[in-house]
Each structure stands twice: as C-alpha cells, then as structure tokens.
Structure 1
Amino acid sequence: MVTIHLAGDSTVAPGPLDDSGVAGWGAALHEHVTERVHNQAIGGATTASFRAEGRWQAILDAVEPGDLVVVQFGHNDQKEPEALAAEGGYTANLRTFVEEARAAGAEPVLATSVERRLFTDDGELRHSHGPYPAAVRALGAAAGVPVIELTGFTRWLYLWLGEEGSWRLFGHAHPETGAPDNTHFGADGARTVAAFVAQQLRVVRGLDDRTQPLGAWVVQP
C-alpha cells in the first residue's frame, strides 16, 4: 500500500482537530485519502533543521518504492535569509530532498507555502513569502517535480471568504503572543487545505486520467 510522507513546518504538522490547538493541513489529510499518511512535519522547521533533527532521515528510512513524499517549507526558512535564501540554501536543500526521495524509490512532490492571513486596513491580502514560492515553482520546473500550488490556493481562499469569513479557518489566539493567529490553522482550516491537497495528489498521480469522458452523455444537441 502506498504511503504519503509529509515533510514540513507547523502549517503541515500534526495537531488536534477539535479546535483545542493549532493543526497543520497534514493533521487532516488522512480524512481525505485512502493511503497511509506518515507525517514528520513539526513546528518551527526549516529545510535545514528538518534534516539536522533526523526527521528527513526518518522519512527515508520508512519509504517504500512507489510512495509519495510531499515537501512544504518556507515559513521559517525566510527567517534565516543568509543561510536559507530562496534561491540559495532553501532551493539547494529542497533539491537534495528531491534527489534523495527519488533515490529511495519515492515520488517527490513539492508544495508552495500556505499564505498567512494578513489583511491590510484597506482589505488587501499581503504577500508574506516573497520569492520563496517562486523558488519552489522554478525548482519543480527544472527538476521535473510536481508542484502543489498552496500559496495561490490559500490566497484565493482567504479572499473568496473575505477578511471576516476567512477567520474561521484559524479562529484562535497565537500560542505564544495571545494575538490573533493568522499563520496556524484550526480544525476547519486544516481540513479545507487537506481536501485540496488530497485532490491535487490525485491529479499528480493521474488516478482519474483514464475515466470515461461524460461529454457524450450530458451534451445536448
């Protein structure tokens, strides 16, 4: 049976789905897929610390041929602009993850960072990741790796729901500051983004590519 392995930071990491705390989308992915989910994501992780703490090796040790490895970082890498610049250490580390996952027989999948919910006083949604999402897209194109566009999806989602409505995806105070937490999801946000990721993984794997077209049945002359 295929296993989906997750490498990432707090926006991917396990967490409670009863709104008693924060949860990354990886906490809810098992609700939307039939495959096993092995989630090694952890709060505060960068592409460097994830390896240093042994979490990447734990994924490689668990990988079986045909598994998927989904990698999403950036929130914390941007806090170390010298060592982990978007087109520097960050991209280099992601490229190594891709190469090692492939060497282990897995299919790597990159994901751009989920956006922070940061609205201006004029109701505009700020861009909070600078060049980091573009670096992921560029690496995906260069290395032939599928990219799940979570930056674009979450930006659309927050704007579609609106400043007030999008709060339900978060809905809690920051665990460290007590201020409204616009980075870490609650249960609703985790489940919503996980549902999108699950559908995108079906696309990546081509699971529905051979289904019978419905055009002949539903198009009227």
Structure 2
Amino acid sequence: MKILLAGDSTVAACPGYEYPMSGWGAHLAPETYWWAAVHNYAKGGATTESFRAEGLWYELLNQTVKGDLVLIQFGHNDQKRGHLAARTGYADNLRRMVAEVRAKGGVPILCTSVERRHFSAGQLEVTLGDYPVVVRELGAELGLDVLDLNQWTRALYQELGEGGSKELFFHFAPGEHAHWAGGLEDNTHFHEKGAQRIALHVAEQLESLGYGLAATMSAGVRA
C-alpha cells in the first residue's frame, strides 16, 4: 500500500534553502518507522485547479493502484481565487478528485486545511471561512473519511496559547536565517517542529480509522 498526498505548501516538502520550513507531508514517513511508502506531490501555492493544470494530479493518479490511500488537502490558495469559492469551484474540484481516485481503486481521504496562526486580542481568528465546513459536508455526501486538521490545529494553537504556538511556525529574527536575512514572521508555514507534530496526528488518525499505520512513528518525532 502507498500513501499519496495532494496539497499545498502546508503539506509539501520545502526546498533545502528554506530549512527548517516544512509541510506536514514531509514528515509522514520517517524512513525507519513506516511500512507504507509515502509519495508527496503537494506543491507550494497549489489550488485544486492548478494542481491539475500543472500535471501533478495526473502524476499522482498514474501511481495510484487498488488499496492506495490518497490524502487531499487544499483551501489556503483556493480562497484567493473567486472562481474557486468553497461551495462552487473548490467543492466541484474535490468531488472530481474523489471520483477519479475511486475509479483507480484508491481510497480518497479529504483533509480540512490546517489553520493559520492569527490571534487578535488573545483570540484565535477563523481564516479559512467555509472551506473546512465544505470538506466536512463532502465527507458526509460522498461517504468518505475526513481528517479534520482545521479543528485539531485550532485546538492545538489555543491550548499552547499565542506565545507557545509561535514555536510551531516559521519565525526568525533578522540575521538568524540565511535566506530571510531581514527576518520573517510567517504564521501560515510551519517550522519542522510544527510539521512533525501534525504528521504524527495524521498518522494516529489514519490508524484509528483502521488503515493499519504503525504507532511507532511517535518514536521518530522530535520534541
């Protein structure tokens, strides 16, 4: 069995010069703890539309065989395109993706988008509108499993608080990172510590759904 990932930068592996920025998909398969191969096709900036237009979706489908899991998480960039609104273009594209995975004998699993870290007056803001809601609705409509990463990450940030949750994200002061010499405060993209924590949660959720993933992944996640 393989696990194939479709998504945006919050899922994708980042280029080396951006280290330690990372999407959670890059940490889903610590090589010494996982028995299923993970193929990460996620790309920074991708929408449900561009992922297909650039050929990434077809590459993923060509590798999909019966029994493979296909995890799909989009939304961050779709919400920047008017024609990819949650209940129109976005939902239609996800329905088509699900149908195509099933036609290949794969098992599609939708993921709600991980939340951005935007606090105001100590309260975590909602930044993704109806996109997570639509994914939950599609899960019920199409009879498939949904990993609610939006709900889980929101709870995580609130538990850690505005200060503590900062460590999950890509924050550097001037002079601390060669590529961003002037400093960076990024509340969308994860530091590898945050990405690893989300990947572990994804693994645990898949195992709880009966997909047979090894809980020993936890041994490969750094504190």
Q: TM-score range by the shorter chain?
A: 0.7 to 0.9
Hey, what's the Cα distance between the residues in 2 that align with 1:34 and 1:184? 28
Which whole-Å CA distance do the structure 2 matches of 1:207 and 1:125 have between them? 34
Distance 2:34 2:161 in 1: 28
TM-score, normalised relative to structure 2: 0.86
User: In 2, Cα distance between the equivalents of 1:42 and 1:204?
Assistant: 26
Q: Is the 8 A contact 2:170 2:184 kept in 1?
A: no
Q: Give runs of aligned pairs for residues 82-121 of structure 1, distance below 5 A.
A: 83-120=83-120
Aligned residue number for residue 126 of structure 1: 125
Aligned with residue 189 of structure 2, among 184, 187, 212:
184
Pick which of 124-133 and 33-42 moved more. 33-42
Partner of 1:211: none
Other-structure match for 1:159: 158
CA distance in 1, matches of 2:52, 2:75: 15
> 1:215 maps to which residue?
none
Distance 1:17 1:160 in 2: 31
Instruction: Give, as a single letter, the amino acid of the residue that structure 2 aligns with 1:183.
Output: T
Alpha-carbon distance, 1:22 to partner: 1.6
Deviations 1:121-174 (A, max 9, x none): x10000000000001001110000100000000000001111111111114259
The 5-angstrom pairing of residues 1-221 of structure 1 reads: 2-15=1-14, 20-31=19-30, 33-81=34-82, 83-120=83-120, 122-173=121-172, 178-205=183-210, 207=212
1:33 Cα offset (Å): 3.7
Contact 1:4 1:69 in 2 (8 A): yes
C-alpha displacement at 1:179, in angstroms? 3.9
% same residue: 51
Task: Give distance in 2, aligned partners of 1:34 and 1:181.
Answer: 33
Identify unmatched segments of 5+ residues in structure 2.
174-178, 214-223
Larger Rg: 1 or 2?
Answer: 1
Q: What is the distance in 2 between the residues matched to 1:125 and 1:98?
A: 31
- Between Structure 1 and Structure 2, the one with more strand by share is 2
CA distance in 2, matches of 1:33, 1:105: 22
Report how far residue 92 of structure 1 moved: 0.3
Q: Distance in 2 between matches of 1:17 and 1:195?
A: 22
Q: State the distance in 2 between where 1:37 and 1:179 align.
A: 30
RMSD after superposition: 2.1
Query: 5+ unaligned residues in a row in structure 1: which ranges?
Result: 209-221
Residues 156-165 or 174-183, more deviating: 174-183
Kindly provide the CA deviation profile for residues 61-86 of structure 1, in whole angstroms up to 9, marking residues without a partner as x: 001210000000000000002x1010
